[in-house]
Structure 1
Amino acid sequence: MPLLGFLNELSTPTDDSPRELVIEQLVLLARSVQSVRRWRQDFALQTPNPIPSWRFGENYGFGDFLRDARTREEARSLLSAVNRAPLRHGLAMARDADGDLEFRCGEQVTEALGLADLFDGLVLSFSDPRWRQRLLSVERTEVVEMPEGQLELVTTSIEVRNACIPDDVDAHRPWLDTAGKPPFEDFDNFEADRADRFANLDFLGRALDQLRAIEPTHPWWSAICGRLDELQEAMVEWDPTTSPEPQWRSRVTGEHQQRRRLCDFTDLDGETRCFDQHARFTPHAGRLHFRLNPVGPRLIVAHIGLKL
């Protein structure tokens, strides 16, 4: 999957913005995209609307930007990045697949900043003073099924990476070097390295079979490997004598009582146990089910796939 950028729709110049200001902001946006693509040729820019339809007031649109010889190179670089974008339904796809999600920056609902969180991507903003920050604070609100079965609204504060100018892109360089790249080339590479990389994780045979069936080019591959890395990091720091469970790097919950029967699997020793704790991955309702064993300590993965 390419490294994804998301155009911050809240930063779009208003219809009454002076034409020269719009041109300047489009040029800076294009040069930021060019800067990203110098490091990551697989970069794709997701936009809320098709790029040919961009208009900034009645008398200026993207077509004018493209036809102007002074800005044609910048326009073509934007076109190239946007044409690579793989998503067609945006945040609605993730919302429909995995419960209600809403993201807000300040008082405004945002799609792009939410997608950047869901897909570990980069936000690109027009260079307005409000958006000249390399990390943007966002409130994520979702409907969560609690262990007892009731539904509750849960709001979490997150930060997403943002760039308005090429210097911002350079500041994100360490992340750009690794973001979106699968940590394992394929399942054989995973098997060869997992004993060292995931020293505190064990896997049931069924979980390994599920992972083996996922192609490294599928968006899930990178997301799952990233979740496994996070679980290993949490396990390394966990002291079972002082805390009932690790400090998770992403949201981990258990199933409510009525659904726990779906989480019974034959453990490594042949006994049937409940693996109801689970982490999430996207796109769609991806679940990674496991149980903790304080001896070791160990985390045993039983299910990698869609929600049970």
Structure 2
Amino acid sequence: MKQTVIAIIGPTAVGKTNLSLEVAKQFDGEIISGDSMQVYKGMDIGTAKVTKEEMAGVPHHMIDIKEPWESFSVAEFQTRVKQHIENITARGKLPILVGGSGLYVQAALYDYNFADNKRNITVTRQLVQQMEEEGAAALYSRLKALDPIQAEKTHPNNARRVIRALEIYETTGITMTEWQKSQQLTSPYNVQLIGLEMDREILYNRINQRVDKMINQGLVEEVQSFYEKGYADKPAMQGIGYKELIPYFKHQRSIEESIDTLKQNSRRFAKRQYTWFRNKMEVNWYSLTPENASEKSRLILRDIAGFLKQK
């Protein structure tokens, strides 16, 4: 019999955290973070990490499990989440996966086989050397020519992901996009996918307000503490909310410009999240407005109750 999982997905700032807490309290659940950045210790403000007070006693998993200098792969995320789902189910609780990192959520819910795509260290080293000699832009241009869909989803400065996509092509002869399409899209779980969406203008205003709130909460100081420890080039610092402030500490950009860039990148990220979830998974979408949020929450809770009765 398949284990039951509720997944709550959607773009940044749409209201996933509040809904997940309501669902967990209503159905005796435990929350698994589906955010690729919340795994890092100390990166709290920039990842909009749920606070102890907000948790209100609801167990949360996949938060603060890595140091900022450590790498974290989708494959590791998948393995850990599978174990959490098993453990939560064994305790008689409901696993609730919550997040906006599309590939991570999809990998956790579906049978992606990462074992067939282990790293080829030789090819990786060759690509790193090529990047050092020719620059990151050259490799990104190559990725754009080979796999424009993957290039669209990858920031030009995210060297790790650019190299990984090219490495897959070098070692398998197929693009990252083709490889992802070939993955099994049947879930080993009895899963209900709840998607939250919002009018773009309203969402973008919420994103801008969230960034302003993060700044007031001390985001600049949080990023500065990691920058001063020499973590600027570490994987964790490539996340939105962190990489945009590095030029400020290098005296290459004003704080105002950095904050504007952060808002812009956050809005673009929200757009990419929508695209990913709409194209990749069968989602039950609920459109939220500031006025109907409570009503929609009640509707979602009723729908989940109906889903759980059918299992």
Higher helix share: 2
TM-score of the alignment, normalized to the shorter chain, above 0.5: no
TM-score, L = length of structure 2:
0.28
- Higher gyration radius (CA): 1
TM-score, L = length of structure 1:
0.28
Higher strand share: 1
Which has the bigger relative contact order, CA under 8 A and spacing at least 6? 2
